[in-house]
Structure 1
């Protein structure tokens, strides 16, 4: 996998909280996620709750319409990685991970806006998460929703262009999470698409055989827009 570091600006942006801008295609409902995924990644069948945070004072929204359908990346053009870095064991009350959409196609395409994100349990059933879209979680740290251009895929997947989004969830320390659901995989619908992609969670710096499940204590996921490819990699 490509080696990159999360931008310092992201940390500053995340600490700033949830009160900032929403723009672009974030103002329209996200595509509906699938019910329990199958080997053929069945299409969505139920509405996925989405909340878009209001614009912040003094923050500009990017001009122009959403990416034209002929230019945008389709689900079939992309592969999905879900990357979780070192966590604090739930001591802060939150955990986080990044989703990475990689262009595997033979054409250049674009992503603009927010992905639809759902967590799946060990049986592949959705946990019924609600997406709260927050541009303040943009990985570039600029609080903007911007178009990401992904060049055509490479024969070497580690050199293929990608775009990533930050996701935060509520959790608790392991000893306090008895009875709470666990997610083993993540389902993602790219912006303006309906076909979901599903991937297991990759835990960085974890010993072989470690539990890679996510323990969630609420049904809310706070999600940043697709942005620069800046998740930590191992």
Structure 2
């Protein structure tokens, strides 16, 4: 009996030792698996198209070809519109007597660097040295006014006429100046008057003015 139980115990001890070793090995294997570093996945790179993100075109913007529109508009602005007082010079031409009348051309000359227009009748008034008006405003003579285009340096004229005072017997005065106002303007141009007395009252005292036309006089 003693000899029989010893081998059995020995066998049992060996089996227990083998089982223990297997358990230790299993634990070591699990620990190794759980702590081993996992492969690192490279971050995903996303390429963003700035054009697509903002809605803008990715091709270079086209450059508009130069246009003549602006230049044409500028030229048109310079060639359109009436002449202003500050752009004109006024003169009274030489007297043209005839049939008891005294006739003078009132000449307006474009002194600006642009083309402008005048149309209709100029204003006219005789004044004394202090600026007081002598006589009534001139009467407009019947005519058909037209637009006169004045390039720089060009002129238009209107006729100023009245009956000779020596013949008409009208009351007279000697003006210091004639105030000439371009059509549709408010500021007059002062022109020295050197042609002597003019009618300012009484019979046949009317002074007449005609519409502007191209040139400097008859």
Q: Could you say which TM-score interval applies, normalised by the shorter chain?
A: 0.5 to 0.7
Does the 8 Å contact 1:81/1:101 carry over to 2?
yes
Query: Are 1:173 and 2:166 matched, yes or no?
Result: yes
Q: What secondary structure sits across from 1:216 in the alignment? A: strand
Residues 150-206 of structure 1 show CA distances to partners (whole Å, capped at 9, x for unaligned) of 002xxxxxxx101100011233228x67x62122321011100000101123xxxxx
Does the 8 Å contact 1:181/1:216 carry over to 2?
yes
Does the 8 Å contact 1:98/1:167 carry over to 2?
yes
Does the 8 Å contact 2:104/2:161 carry over to 1?
yes
Name the counterpart of 2:151.
Answer: 151
1:77 to 56, 74, 87: 87
Tell me how far apart the structure 1 counterparts of residues 200 and 137 of structure 2 sit (CA, whole Å). Answer: 13
Tell me how far apart the structure 2 counterparts of residues 119 and 215 of structure 1 sit (CA, whole Å). Answer: 9
Does the 8 Å contact 1:133/1:222 carry over to 2?
yes
Q: What secondary structure sits across from 1:225 in the alignment? A: coil
Does the 8 Å contact 2:88/2:109 carry over to 1?
yes
1:112 to 116, 119, 130: 119
Name the counterpart of 1:139.
Answer: none
Identify the structure with the greater helix proportion: 2
Tell me how far apart the structure 2 counterparts of residues 224 and 166 of structure 1 sit (CA, whole Å). Answer: 5
Tell me how far apart the structure 2 counterparts of residues 87 and 122 of structure 1 sit (CA, whole Å). Answer: 26
Displacement of 1:86 after TM fit?
Answer: 4.5
Tell me how far apart the structure 1 counterparts of residues 104 and 197 of structure 2 sit (CA, whole Å). Answer: 10
* Rg (Cα) greater in structure: 2
Tell me how far apart the structure 1 counterparts of residues 97 and 200 of structure 2 sit (CA, whole Å). Answer: 16
Q: CA RMSD in A?
A: 2.5
Q: What secondary structure sits across from 1:76 in the alignment? A: helix
| Structure with more contact order per residue of length (Cα contacts < 8 Å, sep ≥ 6) | 1
Q: What secondary structure sits across from 2:190 in the alignment? A: strand
Structure 1, unaligned stretches of length 5 or more? 1-69, 137-143, 153-159, 202-210
Structure 2, unaligned stretches of length 5 or more? 1-79
Tell me how far apart the structure 2 counterparts of residues 180 and 134 of structure 1 sit (CA, whole Å). Answer: 21
- Listed as ranges, the matches of 1:204-219 within 5 Å are 212-218=195-201
Name the counterpart of 1:223.
Answer: 209
Displacement of 1:212 after TM fit?
Answer: 2.8
- Listed as ranges, the matches of 1:28-39 within 5 Å are none
TM-score scaled by length of structure 2: 0.55
2:136 to 123, 129, 142: 129
Count of residues paired in the alignment: 136
Residues 85-116 of structure 1 show CA distances to partners (whole Å, capped at 9, x for unaligned) of 2436xx72x32211111100111000011111
